[in-house]
A and B are shown apart, each in its own frame.
Chain A
Amino acid sequence: MEMVERYIYAVTQRLPENQREDIAEELRGIIEDMLEAHFGSQNYTEEQVHHVLLELGNPNELAEQYRGSKRYLIGPDLFPSFIFILKIVSLAIMTAMSIVFVIETIIEPSAVIGNFISMVTSLISAAAQAFAWITIGFAIADYKGIVPDDLKKNTTREWTPTDLPEIPDRKKQIKRADAIIGIIFSVVAIVFVTFSNELIGVPIFRNDELMGIIPVLNVESFNSLLPFIYTIVAISIGKECLKLIYGKWTKQLALLTMIINVVTLILVALLFTDQVVWNPGFMSEFVELGGVSSQDELYALIKQVWEQATFWTVIGFVVVTIIDTVVAFYKAYRK
């Protein structure tokens, strides 16, 4: 009868804890009833047990019947959005990796094969990361039942024709492509800072020959800043997703955009108050690679610009954010 216990285990382990014991007990009774009905009351052979269990069917299917529903990681309501986001992100990663590959190859044409291999490995690792995080995000949303009303196909509420969405006002409509490009841009940024932050910098040419790139960012300490940067980029991806969900400019969306922009600005400001962002050896590397002596006028000029970099970067962020917010409110409120 060991086979019977194995069968019962196979069924009940797929069921909620509080039902297991009761269903196990019932199944045990049923199986014995079936054995008795088919073969009379005697010591049953293994073959006879086999026969009865076959009649009961695949334990997986039986458990599914008991649960009354199929189990999904990501249910049918969210699945189309899931695929949509996956496509955008894959596209973004491909774009980013290709750009990195091209830049690296221009810098060092002889290393084209090595660059290609590193592109492929980065591609695989980035794609796996992206896939995992997106799946986790959607799975949590599904598990918690966070499904926007628009996506629910099986709403129990009675549908009326007034539920039909308005035909969007062209002036207020958000172009999907814009939001998608925004997301792609964010993902490209994240790929760059993760895999190739040493490439973000000032290229130095001497006699029409590329001497190298002086990184603007502090390559050594950069990893400690990554969580911070990821948060900022994730928020901006979230903003673009909101635009995709809303589909048109509304007062609510403008307000949300403003809140997100303020939060982003605060994070950016915090990031830059910490001076570890910048490459501390920038000026000395500049002297070394560029062949400029520290007495030159050019050196003084560059030094001045370099020292004000933080200030101007933050100003740049502020300006861009204000424009973004103003545009959002303008589009939401204009008739």
Chain B
Amino acid sequence: MSDTNELVNKLMQEVRRGTITIGVLSLLKEPQYGYSLVTMLKGKGVEVEPGTLYPLLRRLEKQGILESEWDTNESRPRKYYFLNTKGEEVYNMLCEEWKKIVTSMDGLIGYGGGDRNGNG
């Protein structure tokens, strides 16, 4: 049974990899710093490893869809990330694609785990 779990974990990791980007972008209309994103995502039921998230933010910034700013007014300096206009555009398009995927997948695997033989 642990073998099955391990396999499921591995496969789900691949599925999650792409969705995390969309999840992160969805939260960045308002500037956020690294750790606040981890807690916000966790609050929504999306588990992200910190080791994945912070490098991801930098990569998205390098790709030109995020901006960043150091805030030095608080007790400790924090780097805030937020969507720029290009980022918003990319995010909206990703959402469209995502909805299509959800519809297609629902069509394939059925909803609510009902008839899985496709007879219904």
Contacts and interface: CB of A to CB of B under 8 A. Distances in A.
B59 interface: yes
A182 to B, nearest CB: 47
A26 B51 contact: no
Contacts of A57: 49-51
Interface stretch (B5-13, B74-82, B86-94, B109-117): B74-82
Measured as residues with beta carbon below 8 angstroms from the partner, the interface class of chain A is 20 to 34
A280 B33 CA distance: 80
A62 interface: yes
B58 A33 contact: no
Contacts of A58: 51
Nearest to A61: B51
B63 to A, nearest CB: 10
Contacts of B64: none
Contacts, number: 52
Contacts of A37: 35, 39
Nearest to A68: B59
Contacts of A201: none
Contacts of A61: 51
Measured as residues with beta carbon below 8 angstroms from the partner, the interface class of chain B is 10 to 19
A80 interface: no
Given A29-B78, A55-B50, A57-B49, A66 B35 contact: no
B58 A29 contact: no
Could you tell me the dominant secondary structure of chain A's interface residues? helix
Contact of A33 (B35, B52, B55): B35
Interface string A31-54: 011100100000000000000000
B76 A29 contact: yes
B77 A29 contact: yes
A33 B77 contact: no
A65 B52 contact: yes
Contacts of B31: none
A225 interface: no
Interface string A250-274: 0000000000000000000000000
B35 A34 contact: yes
B35 A30 contact: yes
B98 interface: no
Interface string B37-81: 001000000000111101110110000000000100000111100
B23 interface: no
A160 to B, nearest CB: 27
A4 interface: no
Given A32-B76, A57-B49, A66 B55 contact: yes
